[in-house]
Amino acid sequence: MRYSAKQRELATWWAEGSPGSGRDGVIAEGAIRSGKTWAMVTGFLLWSQRRFSGRNFIVAGRSVMSLKRNVVGPMLSLMRDMGWPYEYNRSEGFIKVGSNVYWLFGASTEASQDVLQGLTAAGCYADEAALFPESFVDQMAGRCSVEGAKLWFNCNPAGPTHFFKTKWIDRADELNLLHLHFTMDDNPSLSEKTVERYERMFTGVFYDRYIRGLWTLAEGLVYPEYKQAFEEPWEGRAVKWCVSCDYGTQNAFAALLWAFDGEVWHCVREYRYSGRDEGRQKTDADYVADMEAFAEGLPDGVPFVVDPSAASFIAAMRRAGFKVRKARNDVLDGIRETAACMQSGAVRISKLCVETEKEFAGYAWDAKAGADRPVKENDHMMDALRYFVATMRVFDERGAYTSPFSGRSYA
C-alpha cells in the first residue's frame, strides 16, 4: 500500500528518531476517508509488537460490530500480509499475536466503562473516539498504566464543544499527545472521481465535518437543501414497497408510503393525524384500521417500519397480520444517512406530501441544546423519514446507496 506523508507520520511517530517519539499518544482526526485507519492500524501493530511482549491492549470502537468492520478487518489483513500468526477468538473478544493480547470492546453506553475495570494495559486503540461516552475514554486511558504505554485515538469531527475536542484535542500539547489533522488529500488511494462523489453526498454541518474536517456547530435547518429531493408524483412500477411510521397518541401519528423502482426509493404518499389538533385521540385499533386503508392495494407482506417505543401499536399491528420491523433510532446517524441519501438521489419525495414539506421547512437544530439535537417540535414526518432510511439500510457505510435486490452500489 502507498502511504502519504501524513499517513507515514501517523504510522511511525513512536519510532526512535521520529519527532513525536517522546509523546504519550496520538490523536488523528479530520475528514472521512482520509486514510487515518490503515495508517493507525499499521503503526499500532508495529509499535505494540516491537515494544512489548506478554501484555494486554485495549482496542475499542463505538460498537463491537463497527470495530470488526473498521479495525479488526484491516488488522487481520495486515497481519496476514506480514506473515504474523495470530489467534482470533470471536466468542471471548480478543486477538492474540505472539504473547500480546488485544481485547476488543464496544463503547456505546455509560455502562461500557465497567468492562474495563481491573484491566492493566500497555496501550489502547480508540476508533471513532468522539462517539464514545466520556467515562469510557477516561477509564480506557486510566487502564494504560504499563511503563511505555501509549494512547492511539482517531475520530471524525463533532461539535466544537464536544468533550473530546475540549478535553483532549485542545489540550493535546498539555497532555503530551501528538495531534494530526487529516483531509481527503492525505489518502492517496482516493481517485479524484471518488472525492467528488463524497463531496456531493453531504450538505450543511455534515459537509463541514465529514468533508472539510471541521469541528462545526450544528445550526440552521437540519436538511438545508431539502427542496431538491422533491419530485412530481411518481407513477412508475415498484419492485418493493415499505411503510414507515412515527407513532403518536396526543402527538401526531405520521406514516410514509415508499416505492422502490430498482434504483431509487420514492415517497409517494403520506398520512398524518394529530389527536391534539383534531380534538379526538385515536386508539391503536383506530390506527391499525387507518394503516390497512393506507396500504390498500399493496402486495402482502409489505414491511411497516415503526417507532421502536410504540410497543402497544406494534403488538396490535402484528395481531392484525402486518409485518412490522422496529426502527433503528439513532437520531444523529439517521439524520446523516438521510441527508446523504437525499443529496445523492437515493430518496425522492412526491410533491403531494405537503405535510412532509412543511416539516422540512421548520426542522432545525436546537441551538440551546448544547449537543447535536433537532428541536423536538413538528418532527413526526421527519422521524418517519429517518426511520425508513436507517432501518431499510438505504445508505451504506461506503458512502453510496445499495439496491437490496442486485447488491450493486450506485455512486
The pLDDT value recorded for residue 398 is 42
* pTM (predicted TM-score): 0.81
Cell of 395: 445508505
The pLDDT value recorded for residue 403 is 39
Cα(95)–Cα(50) distance, rounded to whole angstroms?
17
CATH topology of domain 226-401: Nucleotidyltransferase; domain 5 (3.30.420)
Query: Which are the contacts of 148, defined by CB distance < 8 A and separation ≥ 6?
Result: 51, 52, 122
Helices (H), 114-190: 134-143, 163-164
The pLDDT value recorded for residue 1 is 65
Report which residue type is found at 388. Answer: F
Cα(316)–Cα(299) distance, rounded to whole angstroms?
20
Residue entry with cell 409485518: 323
Structural domain boundaries in the chain: 5-195, 226-401
Instruction: Say if residues 34 and 182 touch (Cβ distance below 8 Å).
Output: yes
Report which residue type is found at 290. Answer: D
Cα(304)–Cα(13) distance, rounded to whole angstroms?
51
pLDDT along the chain (411 residues), means of 10: 90 96 97 94 97 98 94 95 95 96 95 93 97 96 97 96 96 98 94 89 90 93 94 95 92 96 96 91 96 94 95 97 95 93 94 97 88 90 97 70 37 28
Instruction: Say if residues 243 and 391 touch (Cβ distance below 8 Å).
Output: no
Instruction: Say if residues 391 and 328 touch (Cβ distance below 8 Å).
Output: yes
Cell of 374: 433537532
The CATH architecture annotation of domain 5-195 reads: 3-Layer(aba) Sandwich (3.40)
In the 8-state DSSP scheme, what is residue 25?
Answer: E
